[in-house]
Structure 1
Amino acid sequence: MPQAIWNGVAIAKTDDTVIVEGNHYFPKEDVPAQFLKPSATTTMCPWKGVAHYYTIVAGGAENPDAAWYYPDPKPAAAEIKDRIAFWKGVKIS
């Protein structure tokens, strides 16, 4: 079962990830809200749409903009709606 680990804490675990461009997208309901702090950061992907970010909060530390999601992805990326992906030192195992 894939899990996302940062700062020694399992911040997400599921048997239902979608892999896009090498990134595991976890269902939002499998990432406890206590580990996510909204961020004002956004970026634009030409084929997925506008990405929004979260700062990860775990183990007494914060990892700014280390999680992202597409609240309204373009049709080509519809499979990642309501899913969260990670980077910036978050290990997927």
Structure 2
Amino acid sequence: MQATIDGTVVADAPESELVTIEGNFYFPPSSLKSELFSNSDTPYTCPWKGVAQYHDVSVGDAVHHDAAWSYPDPYPASFDRVGQDYSGYVAFDKSQVSVG
């Protein structure tokens, strides 16, 4: 499965390696083109997953603000709900990134 912005692949992993949470596919960190990602200052804390880290994704000359997010250190209790450890896995804003 791939995550793309304007035809550029920003993440690529077999579907079996993705984690689905609340309708979003979370890609393993190793599947990202990490050079395209930078941390955003946007704050958010999920009541059951923990503190999120938003990411800007740069493709060409365009910076897609908050196009992705992850939970670097999710609440351990959330692993039971999700079914596995998803620390650092990255999901994408569907209005900016195509996943399929």
Could you state the TM-score of these two structures normalised by the residue count of structure 2? 0.85
**1:83 pairs with one of 89, 92, 99:** 89
In 1, Cα distance between the equivalents of 2:2 and 2:78? 22
- Using the aligned pairs only, state the percent identity: 39
Give 1:41's aligned amino acid: T
How many equivalent residue pairs?
A: 92
Ranges in structure 1 where 5+ consecutive residues have no aligned partner: none
Instruction: Give, in angstroms, the shift of residue 12 of structure 1.
Output: 0.4
- Give SS of 2:74's match: coil
Instruction: Give, in angstroms, the shift of residue 29 of structure 1.
Output: 1.2
The equivalent of 2:3 in structure 1 is: 4
Instruction: Give, in angstroms, the shift of residue 42 of structure 1.
Output: 2.0
The equivalent of 2:32 in structure 1 is: 31
Instruction: Give, in angstroms, the shift of residue 57 of structure 1.
Output: 0.5
Q: Of the two, which has the highest radius of gyration?
A: 2
In 1, Cα distance between the equivalents of 2:21 and 2:88? 14
Q: Alpha-carbon deviations, 1:4-48, whole Å to 9, x = none?
A: 011220100001110000101001111021110111112011110
In 2, Cα distance between the equivalents of 1:82 and 1:38? 12
8 Å CA contact 1:8, 1:59 repeated in 2: no
Give 2:86's aligned amino acid: I
CA RMSD of aligned residues (A): 1.2
Give 1:24's aligned amino acid: F
- Give SS of 1:11's match: strand
Ranges in structure 2 where 5+ consecutive residues have no aligned partner: 80-84
